[in-house]
Amino acid sequence: MEQDSPEVPTLSFDAVDDGYDPLVDLEIDDEDLDESDGQQGPNTAVQAKMLYATRAADRPVAQRIDDLFTAFAQRRRVLLAILGFLDEPRRSDALEERVRELQQYDVSVYSGYNYSMLLEEAGAIKKVNEEGADFDDEAEQLPDIIEIDGIEFYKPTDGKQVFWRITTEGRAYLETDDPFDRLAGLIADDQQYQALYKRLLEFCDNEVGRTATELAQLIDNDPLVQNPRRYFSYFAKRLEDCSALYWSQKWHTSELGRKGLKLLFSQNDEPQSGEKTEQLTGGEEL
């Protein structure tokens, strides 16, 4: 006897809001940023709060750009690199590839397309043609005409190629960005953690870099991070945001980080951690 087939439920997308963004209401807590959970690099599970979801068109471009970088502080390194990359016209696919390179070890849900939309809306970049002139969205794209055996045929084209280029306002923001000023401000504001910043920068200042496990052993049991509870990722991320540390399969100290070390050594005696920093590789002391 033939049985009726069960009804297969269907999904309807009619109710989906085209403007929906799952990150709009995401709240970030410092404790969320601290949890390393054995991660091997920057914490990629926690994304920036989407403060830039609602934009006022009448705000000055410079203000919109500043607001974007504030809302996406965790993506500052990538955003700045994009602005530098677009100093000359670049095709959309070239930008996409550059963003993949930038996020090879620091994965994000944002793609080159996402970043380009945000930066364009802020006024930091704009669409141009290959020569750098403004892109004409309304210009008619005619098909190519080819001739075979005396007969002409229309050949479909791939469409107009979109290029991106930094705007005057975007270049002004890029040129005034001062990561060392941010690093100096971090050191001044976090005086109780200066010993830890110094320790991290010294420890990662070698030719091969340091693993997340090594940094966890270096920082996570120190009395300075017990109340409030902090983990190495809390400090590494803040140094990374100032371009003092960078992640490339392991954590490394940058040239700017070495300048930060000089600044730290010029400060007063560091707080006592209550524990000697004995190192994990060969038992060396920092």
Q: Tens digit of pLDDT for each residue in 165-208? A: 999 999 999 999 898 998 999 999 999 999 999 999 999 999 89
Q: Which of 282, 254, 276 is nearest to 199 (CA)?
A: 276
pLDDT of residue 7: 53
- Cβ contact 24:50 at 8 Å: yes
Residue type, 275: E
CB atoms within 10 A of CB 46: 17
228 contact partners, CB below 8 Å, separation of at least 6 = 30
- Residue 78: C-alpha distances to residues 49, 82, 159, 286 (Å): 16, 6, 28, 32
- Residue 175: C-alpha distances to residues 80, 171, 210, 268 (Å): 10, 6, 31, 32
User: Which tokens belong to 285?
Assistant: 């002391």
Instruction: Return the beta strands (E) in 53-160 as ranges.
Output: 90-91, 125-128, 144-148, 151-155
pLDDT of residue 136: 66
- This prediction has a pTM of 0.60
**Long-range contacts of 167-170, Cβ-Cβ distance < 8 Å, separation of 24 or more:** 167/61, 167/123, 167/124, 167/125, 167/126, 169/61, 169/62, 169/65, 169/123, 169/124, 170/65, 170/83, 170/86, 170/119, 170/123, 170/124, 170/125
pLDDT of residue 16: 40
d(CA 256, CA 260): 6
User: How many residues make up the chain in this entry?
Assistant: 286
Below-70 pLDDT ranges, the chain: 1-57, 132, 136-145, 153-160, 268-286
Q: Give residue limits of the domains in the chain.
A: 51-132+164-176, 179-265
